[in-house]
Amino acid sequence: MLNGWWKAESLDDHDPEDLEDDVLEAIRLELNSYDPIEGYTVKNVGWMKVAFCRAGLEGFSTMGEHGEWDRYYVRPSEICHYL
């Protein structure tokens, strides 16, 4: 399943002048704390695997219309079985 509105998070999304050094360092660590998937080391890589029986209209309705991506997101290579 793909999130069509996904944009890779980066340090450019944060203004360093508005953040304290320890907060900025925490963001930097979070952005680089996962094994790379297609070059991305953030948790949400914009797509996930879902169980085949959930990949149809029911999954779309839950994820798309109700904006539940963050709630159900499972980082690949795991499979989301509970949409």
In a domain, 2, yes or no: no
- The predicted structure's pLDDT at residue 37: 92
Count of domains observed in the chain? 1
In a domain, 1, yes or no: no
Residues 41-68 have pLDDT tens digits of 888 899 999 988 888 888 888 877 677 8
Phi/psi zone of residue 76: left (φ > 0), alpha (ψ -120 to 50 degrees), beta? beta
- At 55, the amino acid letter reads A
In a domain, 18, yes or no: yes
In a domain, 69, yes or no: yes
CA 34, CA 64: separation in Å to the nearest integer?
26
Buried b (16+ CB within 10 A) or exposed e, 63-79: beeeeebeebbebeeee
In a domain, 52, yes or no: yes
In a domain, 5, yes or no: no
Residues 25-47 have pLDDT tens digits of 787 788 888 899 998 888 889 99
- pTM of full prediction above 0.85: no
φ, ψ of residue 2 in degrees (nearest 5)? -110, 145
- Domain, as residue range, for 57: 11-80
